[in-house]
Homo-oligomer: A and B are copies of this chain.
Amino acid sequence: MSDPLAIIGGAGAGLGQSLVRAFAQNGYTPIGLNRSVPDGAAGTTHAVDLSDPDQISQTVSDLIQTHGAPNLVVHNAAKLVIAGFAETTAAHFEATWRAMVLSAANLACNALPAMVKGGGGTFIVTGATASLRGGRNFAAFASAKAGLRALTQSLAREYGPQGIHVVHVVLDGIVDTDASRALHSMAPERMKKPADIARTYLALADQHRSTWTHEMDLGPMGEAF
C-alpha cells in the first residue's frame, strides 16, 4: 500500500516547503499546492490558484484519484498586508479574504467529504496572532485571519463528529525563513523554526480521537499568551 496523501495548500518557500519535506520524511506522500512552484519543489508541488473553486476542485479530485483520500490536509496559504486603514483599499480586503478564507473553503469542500468516506483524517489551519484580534495596520489581514478561524471552528463542529480532526494553530511571531531573515532584524534564535512547526503538525495528526486539540498557539520564548 502506498503512503498516505498529505496536501499542503500554500506551499511557498518557507513553512509550506518545510511541511512538504517533513511530511515526506514521516511516511506521507506530500503534495504542495501553490500559486507558483518554488525552486527545487518540482514534482511535489503543483501550481494552482487556491482561491479558484474550479482549479482546486480539479486538482484535489485528480490527487484523490491517484493517491486515495488524503489523511492530512494543511491550509497554510496567506497574504500579508500591513497598512494603515487609510491606505488599505477594497482590493486589499478582497485579496486577503481570497487568499485565506476562500482558499480554505475551497480546499475543505473538496477534501473533507473524501476524508470522511476514507475513514477520517486531520485538517490543520495555520493562523496568526491577528486571528485572535485586530490591530493597528492589520485591518485587512486580521479580518481575513479571524474569518479563517471562524470558518475552521465551523468545520471542526461539523466534521469532528464525522471523524475529521480540525485544528487551528496560532503562530505567534516570525517564522524563520530566508524571506523573514531579509525582512526582520530579529535574532534568528527568536524565530520559530519551520521544522519545529512541522513536528507539531505531525504530532497533531497523530492524536488519538479521545484526545484532540482544536486550538493551540506556537510562539517563541518570551511572547507569552
Q: Which residues of A contact B (CB under 8 A)?
A: 53, 84-86, 88-90, 93-94, 97, 101-102, 105-106, 108-109, 112-113, 130, 133-139, 142-161, 163, 165-166, 168, 176, 189-193, 196-197, 200, 203, 207-225
Number of identical protomers: 4
How far apart are the CA atoms of A197 and B207 in the complex, in Å? 10
Flag if B213 contacts A221 (CB, 8 Å). no
How far apart are the CA atoms of A106 and B221 in the complex, in Å? 24
Flag if B90 contacts A224 (CB, 8 Å). no
What is the CB-to-nearest-CB distance from A129 to chain B, in angstroms, rounded to a whole number? 11
How far apart are the CA atoms of A31 and B179 in the complex, in Å? 45
Chain B residues near A138: list those with CB within 8 A. Answer: 154
Chain B residues near A159: list those with CB within 8 A. Answer: 85
Residue of B nearest to A130 (CB): B150
Flag if A220 contacts B210 (CB, 8 Å). yes
What is the CB-to-nearest-CB distance from A128 to chain B, in angstroms, rounded to a whole number? 11
Instruction: Indicate whether A113 sits within 8 Å of B88 (C-beta atoms), given known contacts A191-B210, A224-B214, A225-B156.
Output: no
How far apart are the CA atoms of A193 and B145 in the complex, in Å? 33
What is the CB-to-nearest-CB distance from A166 to chain B, in angstroms, rounded to a whole number? 7
Chain B residues near A155: list those with CB within 8 A. Answer: 85, 134, 139
Chain B residues near A94: list those with CB within 8 A. Answer: 102
Chain B residues near A148: list those with CB within 8 A. Answer: 143
How far apart are the CA atoms of A163 and B189 in the complex, in Å? 13
Residue of B nearest to A84 (CB): B158
Flag if A166 contacts B224 (CB, 8 Å). yes
Chain B residues near A214: list those with CB within 8 A. Answer: 217, 219, 224-225
Flag if A209 contacts B189 (CB, 8 Å). yes
Instruction: Indicate whether A105 sits within 8 Å of B134 (C-beta atoms), given known contacts A166-B224, A217-B214, A224-B156.
Output: no
